Amino acid sequence: MKAHHLHDWQIARDQAMQIQRDLAAMVSRRNEVGDILLVAGVDISAPDSEGFARAAVAVVSYPELKLKETKVVQQQVTFPYVPGLLSFRESPLILAVCEKLNADPDLILVDGQGIAHPRRLGLASHLGLLWDKPTIGCAKSRLCGEHQLVPPQPGSYAEIIDNSEVIGAALRTKQGAGPVYVSIGHKVDLQAAVSWVLRCCRGLRLPEPTRLAHLAASGHLKATGAEETPSQLTLKLF
């Protein structure tokens, strides 16, 4: 899965913020999701003591949600940790691992924010523009905005509001579990984003594509064609 070159990655923080503002205007908030046969999930581990992180992508069939392909890449993270600029830190690794896919997913779920971001360009929106594909942000925590309490029933949600703008939804995917935070990435509207996250859940808090990607990034799921040696990572098949 090849990405467009929209900008350089080794840049100053102020320049990165301006790029986010510029790219945010290019995000499509219309639902352009067509027929879905394959859904991908992407995630990345925290860097280790030497600055190396693992990025993972998992592709599942739809509607069966059966795992079709997994790739993992380990590389050094070069951009510093700056709240609100995580896409500049994480995107190069995610792009690298997704280039190794044999499959061509129709929809990508990202463990991160879409437009639910102070400058309306989180990781999911950034990646969506780079790939020019429908993407959805499905984060474990909220970055900005406020929402009302979410009813306990799975499928319930509350809109996330920031500066009087609806930027996402706090969505209950599992009874007794905390909500996930869904937002438009690119080429999807919020209603469709919420619907697709629910369709991709299998009774757990996280949708299956990002859950599997998280397992692969943390070394708990065998990767097909992982770019690592046994000494770097011991993979376990759960």
Chain segment 199-217, per-residue pLDDT in tens = 999 999 999 999 999 999 9
Q: Which amino acid appears at position 186 of this protein?
A: H
Which pLDDT belongs to residue 223?
A: 67
- N residues, the chain: 238
Q: Report d(CA 178, CA 159) in Å as an integer.
A: 15
Q: What is the pLDDT of residue 237?
A: 27
pTM higher than the cut 0.85: yes
Q: Which CATH class is domain 13-217?
A: alpha beta
Which tens digits make up the pLDDT trace of 104-131?
A: 999 999 999 999 999 999 999 999 999 9
At residue 114, the pLDDT reads 98
Tokens found for residue 162: 């920031």
3-state DSSP of the chain: CCCCCCCCCCCCHHHHHHHHHHHHCCCCCCCCCCCCCEEEEEEECCCCCCCEEEEEEEEEECCCCCEEEEEEEEEECCCCCCCCCHHHHHHHHHHHHHCCCCCCCCEEEECCCCCCCCCCCCHHHHHHHHHCCCEEEEECCCCCCECCCCCCCCCCEEEEEECCEEEEEEECCCCCCCCEEEEEEECCCHHHHHHHHHHCCCCCCCCHHHHHHHHHHCCCCCCCCCECCCCCCCCCCC
Q: Which residue has the tokens 């993407």?
A: 135
Residues of the chain short of pLDDT 70, as ranges, are: 223-238
Sequence ranges of the domains in the chain: 13-217
Residue whose entry in the numeric block shows the structure tokens 């299956």? 208
Tokens of 170: 């706090």
pLDDT at 135: 98
**Predicted local distance difference test score (pLDDT) of residue 2:** 92
> First vs last Cα of the chain: how many Å apart?
27
Distance CA 74, CA 78 (A): 13
What pLDDT was estimated at residue 222?
75
